[in-house]
Amino acid sequence: MVNTIGWELYRTFLAVLTEGSLSGAARALGITQPTAGRHIAALETAFGQPLFIRSRTGLSPTEGAISLRGYAEAMRDTAAALERAATSRGQEVTGTVRISASEVIGTEVLPPMLARLKHAHPQLRIELVPTNRVQDLLRREADIAVRMTQPRQESLIARRVGDVKLGLYAHNDYLRRHGMPAIPADLTRHALIGFDEETPYLRAASRQLPIWTRDAFAFRTDSDLAQLALIRAGCGIGICQTALAGGLVRVLPEQYNFTLATWVTLHEDLRASPRCKATFDALVLGLRNYTGESG
């Protein structure tokens, strides 16, 4: 029976995982609650195990349900990629393209580029996913991704668009209250804005800026957008992309200069897709201008 399970049952399964209840899943999918309940019951019968534990507060996934989540998400992403491909007709730039980028790039940098792209191709529909999680192009979680690391998979096409420059910045109001650091040691008496959970990239970056550790931060958040907002609000000193630092003051510019190599990538199977090619080319051009890369 497992082989005959329809996609709609897995879609309901994912919705219940996300919403935590049958009623929430039903609202999200536009179906009735009894239908959602029948879908979950059918899956549990097919798999011969419970997927959720019922309680007064909703539904909690069992270990079996958690282990199935990745597979169901892969099915969802493949179905979405199929739908995007099916809506692209002939050689026209039409249909939907899904773009993944970091929070800051996706929110602060890409929108003007996407506005120009949409103006040039009115029939194009754009799905923008600002996330610091690296979305899997091989699983078609996105069609195109802007990444700060070079992709290693052979089946991905990658174009390097330059280096994003970063530095330490603070709002003038903060520096007026607390003074401008003159040497790196002065940072120890300032309110620093940084991460909550360390990543491999942050561990590598800390070699250039040893003070940049979790215990040193007065404000901690793993959201790059939140860090940028805190810097702009005058909360303290943090790392900011130089091109986005309008209205902010550079701190210790001679000592601290960081760069992030930036790439635009897509799956090689999409290179002939008019919608993906137009979007890929527009992002490469726009990001080269943003980083100051020529050629």
CATH homologous superfamily of 85-162+261-291: Periplasmic binding protein-like II (3.40.190.10)
Tokens 């399964």 locate to 13
**pLDDT one-digit tens code per residue, 10-47:** 889 998 988 888 888 888 888 899 999 999 999 989 88
Q: List all residues 6 or more positions away from 134 whose beta carbon is below 8 Å from its beta carbon.
A: 145, 147, 149
Q: Which residue has the higher pLDDT, 186 or 10?
A: 186
**pLDDT one-digit tens code per residue, 135-153:** 555 566 889 999 888 877 6
**pLDDT one-digit tens code per residue, 98-145:** 999 999 999 999 999 999 999 999 999 999 999 887 655 556 688 999
Q: Which residue has the higher pLDDT, 85 or 279?
A: 279
Q: Please compute the mean of the pLDDT values over residues 265-281 and round it to a whole number.
A: 88
Q: Please compute the mean of the pLDDT values over residues 77-96 and round it to a whole number.
A: 71
Domains 2-78 and 85-162+261-291 share a fold: no
Q: Which range, of 129-133, 176-180, 247-251, averages the lowest pLDDT?
A: 129-133
Question: Where does the pLDDT of residue 227 fall: very low under 50, low under 70, confident under 90, or very high at 90 and above?
Answer: very high
Share of the chain above pLDDT 90, in %: 51
CATH number for the region 163-258 comes to 3.40.190.10
CATH number for the region 2-78 comes to 1.10.10.10
DSSP per position, 12-58: HHHHHHHHSSHHHHHHHHT--HHHHHHHHHHHHHHHTS--EEEETTE
Q: How far apart are CA 40 and CA 253, in angstroms?
A: 57
* pLDDT value, residue 86: 63
Nearest Cα neighbor of 285 from 167, 120, 85 is 120
Q: Is the pLDDT of residue 226 over 60?
A: yes
Q: Is the pLDDT of residue 248 over 80?
A: yes
Nearest Cα neighbor of 283 from 140, 131, 135, 128 is 128
* pLDDT value, residue 88: 54
Nearest Cα neighbor of 201 from 146, 256, 258, 242 is 258
* pLDDT value, residue 1: 43
Q: List all residues 6 or more positions away from 251 whose beta carbon is below 8 Å from its beta carbon.
A: 167, 168, 169, 170, 175, 180, 181, 237
Mean pLDDT estimate for the chain? 87
Q: Report how far apart, in Å, the C-alpha atoms of 49 and of each of 43, 136, 214 are.
A: 9, 30, 43
* pLDDT value, residue 205: 67
Mapped onto helix, strand or coil, the DSSP state of residue 246 is coil
Q: Please compute the mean of the pLDDT values over residues 236-255 and round it to a whole number.
A: 96
Q: How far apart are CA 292 and CA 295, in angstroms?
A: 10
User: Where in the chain are the domains?
Assistant: 2-78, 85-162+261-291, 163-258
Q: Which residue has the higher pLDDT, 163 or 198?
A: 163
